Amino acid sequence: MKILVTGTAGFIGFHLVKKLVSLGYFVTGIDNINEYYDVNLKYARLCQSGIKREEINYNEKICSASLPGYCFLKLDLTDREKIFSLFREEQFDFVCNLAAQAGVRYSLENPYAYTDSNICGFINILEACRNFSVKHLVFASSSSVYGLNEKIPFSVTDTVDHPVSLYAATKRANELMAHTYSHLFNIPVTGLRFFTVYGPWGRPDMAYFKFACAILSNSPIEVYNKGNMLRDFTYIDDVTEGIIAAINRISSGNAQFNAYAPTPSQSSAPFKLYNIGNNRPEKLIDFIASLENALGRKAEKVYLGMQPGDVQATMADIDATTKDLGWEPKICIDEGLKLFADWFLEYGKNNDSV
């Protein structure tokens, strides 16, 4: 089966490619390799996937030297003409859209990056899926869509009409856009709301990565809301297993859909939403303690208040995910942070930016 994965120089996309190839998929990966964070890490991920930096040119396909069945192109989702050409040439069976402008706080500084990538780029993916008969589109949403909702755990049946960041608003817009295309053109679509993904090769803008850098350089770390926030940290291997489970279960319409009392997670259209989370939230201050243990160093902490765009707590209700996809997380926080710390210490030996 041929699958397009967008965002394969990114954290989740990098790990997903390796897993898909091991399962026998023929994978085409694309990424625009933007400079939101250190591009050297993105190129290092690609190198680990058998894609050499010096061979990368815009819209030129490179076949992996180490992962048979994987090819990569540097390509931007907003490049409609070349996206359509790629779909026309490859005739993908499946599409997994992970490419997006990430980050809650950065959306306060550069809102146009979010509308360009997350809205304009996503409509190009939807139009391509429509025009080239893709069997199933799986796309990344986010736990941030729950916004002001304080009912814990967050359920896919909850209303999500009160986002607190532009990033969250664009992710909710993706869900609405995807449902529209699923309804109008009968495209099977599944959206996955990820909860604070962490692990080796992670994003340096994420708190745990910043904490590790600061701890090893004897710099203070900023702890928001005095460490009292709760986060449903989810290990990367669990996340990729969840994505693959979703890809393999092609969405169908719900015959019991009640148009008089609709919920966001299902429809008469072949559209589904699922939470991909650990279902065991950790207090931020406890998470930091576990990271300190994994690194063998103590952190100097500076306690600050809540930041704009942040929420007090996240926790995933995964009952529907477990029931429909047969998925549940396996990696506990101590084990996951030890795996991250081992990678981080090794990667940092050869990278001045860490």
What is the per-residue pLDDT across 179-206, written as a single tens digit (0 to 9) for each?
999 999 999 999 999 999 999 999 999 9
Between CA 43 and CA 40 the distance in angstroms is 5
Intra-chain end-to-end CA distance of the chain, in Å:
38
Q: Tell me how far apart the alpha carbons of residues 226 and 330 are, in angstroms, rounded to a whole number.
A: 29
Please determine, for residue 350, whether its predicted confidence score (pLDDT) is greater than 80.
Answer: no
State the pLDDT at residue 277: 97
Give, as one character, the DSSP assignment of residue 110.
-
Name, in order, each residue with C-beta under 8 angstroms of 263's C-beta and a sequence gap of 6 or more.
Answer: 156, 157
Place of tokens 């933007």: 34
Tokens of 346: 């090794």
- β-bridge partners, 230: 283, 313
Asked if 274 contacts 192 with a C-beta cutoff of 8 angstroms, the reply is: yes
Confidence of residue 150 (pLDDT cuts 50, 70, 90): confident
Contact 22, 241 (CB under 8 A): no
Half-sphere exposure at residue 36, Cβ-oriented, CA atoms within 13 angstroms: 28
Q: What is the pLDDT of residue 197?
A: 96
Local confidence band at 354 (pLDDT 50, 70, 90 cut-offs): low
Could you tell me the pTM of the whole model?
A: 0.94
Contact residues for 85 (Cβ-Cβ < 8 A; gap 6+): none
Contact, 205 vs 36, CB < 8 A?
yes
CA distance 27 to 128: 17
Q: Domains (ranges, CATH) in the chain?
A: 2-200+234-278+315-329 (3.40.50.720)
> In what helix (H) or strand (E) does residue 30 lie, and over which residues does it extend?
strand 26-31
Q: Among residues 36, 167, 208, 274, which one is catalytic?
A: 167
- The mean pLDDT value of the chain amounts to 94
Q: What is the mean pLDDT of residues 4-22?
A: 98
Q: Whose CA is closest to 282, among 227, 206, 230?
A: 230
Considering only CA atoms, give the Rg of the chain. 20
CA dist 81 and 124 (Å) reads: 9
Q: What is the pLDDT of residue 309?
A: 65
**Helix, strand or coil for residue 332?**
coil
Pairing of strands 282-283, 230-231: antiparallel
* pLDDT tens digits, one per residue of 279-309: 998 999 999 999 999 999 999 999 988 777 6
In one letter, which amino acid is 275? Answer: N
Determine whether 112 is an active site residue.
no
Say if residues 122 and 174 touch (Cβ distance below 8 Å). yes
Check: CB of residue 178 under 8 Å from CB of residue 79: no
The string of pLDDT tens digits covering residues 58-93 is 999 999 999 999 999 999 999 999 999 999 999 999
Do residues 71 and 29 lie in contact, with contact meaning Cβ atoms separated by under 8 Å? yes
Cα–Cα nearest to 219, from 95, 354, 342: 354
Q: Give tens-digit pLDDT for 232-277.
A: 999 999 999 999 999 999 999 988 888 888 888 889 999 999 999 9
The CA angle 151-274-269, to the nearest 5 degrees, is 115
